Structure 1
Amino acid sequence: MPKREVIDTARAPHTGLPYAQALRYGDLVFVAGQVALDPKTNQPSGGEVAAQTRRVLDNISAILEQAGTSLAYALDSLVFLRSASDFDAFNDAYRAYFPNDGPPRTTVQAAVPREGFLVEIRIIAGMPG
């Protein structure tokens, strides 16, 4: 039976809330929903949705690298957008991280719990090999 391994890196933010940045279970890595926090200050980063999307995906990339994988092995993506009007700008920023075939994705409009955040993304990834 695979073991459950908590993934933690200083290269991604720590919220102080009761959840791990990610868990590895066998060949799968489950990354907690990430918002645009600067990992050095734990303060909100980026004002508009494209900048926030880049910060979120950079944070997720750091977490996946700590786990031994990358966005290239993303298997599923769940995205929460505060406003449907941000959909096109979000997609433009997201596409830069997944230029070919991105993972299956669900995008919903939802209130992100903390003020100022326009996007939250959760990723499930596999391991290389």
Structure 2
Amino acid sequence: MKPINYLYIVLLLSFFGCQSGKKDITFHPSHLSERQNTPFSAAVETENLLFLSGQIGKDHVKGMLVSGGIEAETKQALENIKAVLAQHNSSLDRVVKCTVILADINDFKAFNSVYVQYFPNKPARTTFAAGGLAIGAKIEIDVIAAK
């Protein structure tokens, strides 16, 4: 009797698992009617993860950035993320990774004072500053959440 090559079996199972997984990606448009024609998805769902597009501190009801500086914009961006997650039956406690882009790295301390109120689980995070953000925003945040 020939010995079983377990590596061969694992590779076969991995290959067939990957092939069937191709259909398990869903590209979700925004839940906001005015954002239905954006050139990106509000969220992309895979078998185990939910990837959200970046959110800025824009009040989508008023159609403008909130006033009050980095702290107010951070709070609004996180509330926007919370709303998108809720739309997909998820929540902030399921977030495993955040990417934070600040317009000014000097806003880090003020941003962080708001951020920690939303993420007691302390997901992995990358934070950096960029030369400019959409519509003059001070912050943009995107997240990846486990389903």
Question: What is the TM-score normalised by the length of structure 1?
Answer: 0.87
**Which of structure 1's runs of 4+ aligned residues deviate more than 6 A?**
none
* Residue deviations 1:6-63 (CA, integer Å, cap 9, x gap): 333239x838531111111112100001111112132222330000000000000000
More helix by share: 2
Gaps of 5+ in 2: 1-20
Q: Which residue of the partner structure matches residue 65 of structure 1?
A: 86
Gaps of 5+ in 1: none
Q: Which residue of the partner structure matches residue 137 of structure 2?
A: 117
Q: Alignment length, in residue pairs?
A: 125
Equivalent pair of 2:133/2:140 in contact (CA under 8 Å): no
Structure 2 residue identity aligned to 1:59:
N
Equivalent pair of 1:36/1:46 in contact (CA under 8 Å): no
Q: Which residue of the partner structure matches residue 43 of structure 1?
A: 64
Q: Measure how far apart 1:113 and its partner are.
A: 3.0
Aligned equivalents of 2:98, 2:63: Cα separation in 1 = 23
Aligned equivalents of 2:131, 2:104: Cα separation in 1 = 8
Q: Measure how far apart 1:68 and its partner are.
A: 1.0
Q: Which residue of the partner structure matches residue 39 of structure 2?
A: 18
Aligned equivalents of 1:45, 1:124: Cα separation in 2 = 24
Larger RCO (CA under 8 A, 6+ residues apart): 1
State percent identity of aligned pairs: 30
- Of the three residues 67, 83, 89, the one matched with 2:110 is 89
How much is the aligned-residue C-alpha RMSD, in angstroms?
A: 2.0
Equivalent pair of 2:103/2:133 in contact (CA under 8 Å): no
Which 10-residue stretch deviates more, 33-42 or 109-118?
109-118
2:77 aligned with 1:56: yes
Whichever of the two has the greater Rg, that structure is: 2
Q: Which residue of the partner structure matches residue 103 of structure 1?
A: 123
Aligned equivalents of 2:86, 2:73: Cα separation in 1 = 20
SS in 1 for 2:84: helix
Shift in alpha-carbon separation, 1:78–1:4, aligned structure 2, 3 A = same
Q: Measure how far apart 1:115 and its partner are.
A: 4.1
Q: Which residue of the partner structure matches residue 33 of structure 1?
A: 54
